[in-house]
Structures are given as C-alpha cells and as structure tokens.
C-alpha cells in the first residue's frame, strides 16, 4: 500500500497487510465530480474558497495528488486538472472501486444518518470495496424521521424508544451529533418526563432540525439504556459547530454517570484531552479520524499525540470519510503511513519492542473495534 520504508520491517509488513476496521465512516459518492466539486468534497467548509485561493492547495489536496493519482494510473503529484480529467475518463464507479479496494479497509461501520441518499449505502460500500459493512444509527436522524410520522408530545418518549429499538436491531452502535446541535456542555443528568413532554411539544409544533437540549439529552439517555457503544462527535467539523464547545472534557460529568462504551470521534484539536479521558475512564475510547486525512503529511504528529496518554486498547482507527472515495483511501493510507513511521521510530530508538509495535498497530487498526463493537472475526 505504499507505506514508507521503515526501520521496523515486520511492523511495516504487518501494517500494510492489516484489514482495517473503520469504526466511523460514511458512504462513498459515485457522482461524477468536476474540479470544483472535488475541491468542495475535500473541505469541511460550506463556503467557496477565498478569492485567489483553492482548497486543493492544502495538506489534503496535496495528499490526493500524491497518493490517489497512482491508483488511477497517473504519476504521483500530477496536477489537479490532469487528475480530474483522468477521474472523469475512468468514470466515478471505477474510481470508487479502485480507491476503496486499495484502502485495504476490511470492515466499515457506517453512519447512515447524514445525507445518506447521496452516497453508497452500507451494502453498496461493502460491494464496491470487497469488504464487510455494518450500520451505526444516528439518534437525531431517528427522532427527525419519527417526528415526520405525526407523533404527539405525550407519545414522543415511548415512540422514540420503539423507533430506536427497531433501528438498532442489527446495528453495532449508536451515534449522537449533540456537539453540532448544541455542544458537549449539556446538562449531564437525564431530563424528567415532564420536561421531555414540554420540549417535544415545542419542537413538534415548530418543526425543523432537532436542536433542543432537553430532547437531545433525552435521546442520549435513551441510547444509554440500550447498552450499545455510543459515539460522540467531538472536535473539528463543519462550521455548524462552535469548536470550543466540542472539547470532550466538557463531557466529564456525563461520563461519571454512565458505563456504556463512549466512543469519542475525531477529537482534533482536543485529542490530547480525549486521551486523558480514555486513560482515566474505563469506558472511554477515541479516534483521530478526519484529522489524519486533513493533516496529510503532518498526520504522523496527530497519530503520535493520540498515543501519548491513552491506553493502547482505547484508541481506534477511523477515516470519517464522506463522499469522494479519495477520503476513504487516504484515511487508511495516511493512518498506515503514520503508524508505521511513529511506532517504527520508537522501535528504532530502542523504546519499544517491534513485537509490541505490531500488536498495538493491530489493536488500533482493527482489534479494539472488534472487541468494543462485538464484531465477529473475519
Ligand atoms: Zn463523520
């Protein structure tokens, strides 16, 4: 997979061959993308680039030209116009097929709750990648679908519990985007039934996205009752969120009240805070998905920082890819390169045994996800 030559050859070989479990990912797009659409797919910004600049002039843009171009039979570092022309010549289905297969991801745990209609569904993603896929259900999406069915305020709590139970059957985990809809500084206690009923009445009358903090807390506490791993978006994302309110340490009081596995997603630039939480709370885990992709040649630093305080059984791989299959490919490739380089450096310095480095890479890349989400062995 083109990872860097390393001072630890057994580690490099093991990381190259590892079928990754991507515990937070979205579907891939098979749309035909022109240069502007591709560039838009590589940023979390909903705005056009500043005049005279391009989103392709970024760590991620450079990584696409370096690492995705060869998968499309182009030289490394090819210019963006030639890359887009080749993409269109091959056709989006072939591009997705090549990039997904080359990622070496063996199992996708897919968040189906965001713009899923524009993307390959879990079965489509699995087929295109030659991999397996399972679903992670987004709480807010379940509530919003349910609201459209005409439920009343008095029946909201029971109807949500039923809807979540039905959707969660066969899913491996649940996810909340409370970081986007409110912030992680929510009241850590469950709301009372009276509060839920009043808030449901207000929201069902007003309609729109669910942003009410009482209802968001109710969704979260209903999810806790299932016992399934619960993913929290933390850290960077699009500007719907207010960054400093996505610091996962804001969850501390909530974490003291629950015992279900809590999966902190992305976390950057608060991945060190997340590492601390994973070190002191047995049920807390983290990843640096999306940050690895976005930081490109600097992703080694992010991966190294994620492995400072956190116990190695609490860190997971994810790509958080959404849309262009370049993101699925780079999430895996940049993670493999970073882990090989970072752990290899510690082996070369005499700090780590190479056998321990191989074991940790396999835990973070696949084993920890298989244990926490109770996935079957491949
Ligand atoms: Zn995501």
Nearest to 12 by CA among 367, 341, 368: 341
pLDDT score for 3: 47
Task: Please give the distance, rounded to the nearest whole angstrom, from the Cα atom of residue 224 to the centre of ligand 1.
Answer: 20
Task: Please give the distance, rounded to the nearest whole angstrom, from the Cα atom of residue 321 to the centre of ligand 1.
Answer: 7
Q: Which helix (H) or strand (E) holds 232?
A: strand 230-234
Structure tokens at 127: 């087929």
Task: Please give the distance, rounded to the nearest whole angstrom, from the Cα atom of residue 96 to the centre of ligand 1.
Answer: 19
Task: Please give the distance, rounded to the nearest whole angstrom, from the Cα atom of residue 323 to the centre of ligand 1.
Answer: 11
Task: Please give the distance, rounded to the nearest whole angstrom, from the Cα atom of residue 278 to the centre of ligand 1.
Answer: 20
Can you name the residues that pair with 234 across neighbouring β-strands? Answer: 266
CA distance 334 to 185: 32
Task: Please give the distance, rounded to the nearest whole angstrom, from the Cα atom of residue 138 to the centre of ligand 1.
Answer: 11
pLDDT score for 231: 98
Task: Please give the distance, rounded to the nearest whole angstrom, from the Cα atom of residue 320 to the centre of ligand 1.
Answer: 5
Task: Please give the distance, rounded to the nearest whole angstrom, from the Cα atom of residue 319 to the centre of ligand 1.
Answer: 8
pLDDT digits (tens, 9 = 90+) for 251-298: 999 999 999 999 999 999 999 999 999 999 999 999 999 999 999 999
Task: Please give the distance, rounded to the nearest whole angstrom, from the Cα atom of residue 194 to the centre of ligand 1.
Answer: 33
Task: Please give the distance, rounded to the nearest whole angstrom, from the Cα atom of residue 162 to the centre of ligand 1.
Answer: 25
Task: Please give the distance, rounded to the nearest whole angstrom, from the Cα atom of residue 26 to the centre of ligand 1.
Answer: 6
CA distance 241 to 162: 29
pLDDT score for 17: 97
Asked if residue 258 lies in contact with residue 224, where contact means CB atoms within 8 angstroms, the answer is yes
Task: Please give the distance, rounded to the nearest whole angstrom, from the Cα atom of residue 187 to the centre of ligand 1.
Answer: 24
Task: Please give the distance, rounded to the nearest whole angstrom, from the Cα atom of residue 34 to the centre of ligand 1.
Answer: 23
Task: Please give the distance, rounded to the nearest whole angstrom, from the Cα atom of residue 8 to the centre of ligand 1.
Answer: 32
Task: Please give the distance, rounded to the nearest whole angstrom, from the Cα atom of residue 112 to the centre of ligand 1.
Answer: 10
Which strands, in side-by-side order, build the sheet including 262-266? Answer: 20-25, 105-111, 132-138, 173-176, 230-234, 262-266, 284-287, 315-316
**How many Cβ atoms are within 10 Å of 201's Cβ, its own excluded?**
14
Tens of pLDDT, residue by residue, the chain (378 residues): 444 445 799 999 999 999 999 999 999 998 898 989 999 999 999 999 999 999 999 999 999 999 999 999 999 999 999 999 999 999 999 999 999 999 999 999 999 988 877 899 999 999 999 999 999 999 999 999 999 888 999 999 999 999 999 999 989 999 999 999 999 999 999 999 999 999 999 999 999 999 999 999 999 999 999 999 999 999 999 999 999 999 999 999 999 999 999 999 999 999 999 999 999 999 999 999 999 999 999 999 999 999 999 999 999 999 999 999 999 999 999 999 999 999 999 999 999 999 999 999 999 999 999 999 999 876
Task: Please give the distance, rounded to the nearest whole angstrom, from the Cα atom of residue 192 to the centre of ligand 1.
Answer: 30
Cα separation of the two ends of the chain: 20
pLDDT score for 1: 45
Task: Please give the distance, rounded to the nearest whole angstrom, from the Cα atom of residue 24 to the centre of ligand 1.
Answer: 6
CA distance 56 to 68: 13
Asked if residue 165 lies in contact with residue 227, where contact means CB atoms within 8 angstroms, the answer is no
Task: Please give the distance, rounded to the nearest whole angstrom, from the Cα atom of residue 322 to the centre of ligand 1.
Answer: 7
Domains detected in the chain: 9-29+104-372 (3.20.20.140), 33-90 (no CATH)
Task: Please give the distance, rounded to the nearest whole angstrom, from the Cα atom of residue 349 to the centre of ligand 1.
Answer: 35
Task: Please give the distance, rounded to the nearest whole angstrom, from the Cα atom of residue 211 to the centre of ligand 1.
Answer: 18
């Amino acid at each position: 997979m083109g990872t860097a030559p390393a001072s630890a050859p057994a580690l490099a070989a093991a990381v190259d061959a590892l079928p990754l479990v991507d515990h937070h990912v979205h579907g891939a797009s098979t749309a035909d993308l022109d240069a502007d659409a591709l560039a838009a797919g590589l940023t979390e910004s909903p705005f056009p680039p500043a005049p005279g600049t391009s989103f392709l002039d970024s760590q991620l843009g450079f990584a696409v030209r370096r690492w995705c171009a060869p998968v499309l039979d182009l030289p490394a570092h090819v210019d963006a116009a030639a890359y887009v022309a080749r993409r269109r010549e091959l056709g989006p289905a072939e591009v997705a097929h090549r990039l997904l297969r080359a990622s070496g991801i063996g199992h996708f745990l897919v968040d189906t709750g965001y713009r899923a209609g524009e993307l390959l569904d879990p079965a489509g993603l699995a087929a295109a990648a030659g991999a397996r896929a399972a679903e992670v259900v987004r709480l807010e999406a379940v509530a919003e679908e349910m609201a459209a069915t005409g439920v009343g305020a008095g029946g909201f709590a029971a109807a949500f519990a039923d809807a979540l139970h039905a959707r969660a059957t066969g899913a491996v985990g649940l996810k909340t985007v409370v970081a986007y809809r409110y912030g992680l500084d929510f009241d850590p206690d469950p709301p009372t039934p009276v509060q839920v009923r009043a808030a449901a009445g207000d929201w069902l009358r007003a309609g729109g996205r669910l942003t009410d903090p009482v209802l968001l807390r109710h969704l979260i506490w209903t999810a806790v009752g299932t016992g399934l791993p619960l993913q929290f978006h933390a850290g960077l994302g699009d500007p719907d969120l207010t960054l400093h309110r996505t610091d996962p340490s804001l969850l501390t009081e909530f974490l003291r009240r629950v015992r279900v596995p809590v999966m902190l997603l992305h976390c950057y630039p608060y991945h060190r805070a997340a590492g601390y939480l994973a070190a002191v709370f047995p049920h807390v885990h983290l990843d640096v998905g999306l940050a690895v992709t976005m930081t490109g040649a600097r992703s080694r630093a992010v991966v190294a920082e994620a492995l400072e305080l956190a116990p190695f059984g609490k860190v997971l791989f994810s790509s958080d890819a959404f849309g262009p299959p370049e993101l699925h490919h780079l999430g895996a490739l940049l993670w493999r390169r970073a882990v090989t380089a970072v752990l290899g450096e510690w082996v070369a310095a005499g700090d780590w045994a190479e056998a321990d480095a191989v074991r940790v890479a396999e835990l973070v890349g696949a084993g920890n996800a298989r244990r926490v989400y109770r996935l079957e062995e491949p």
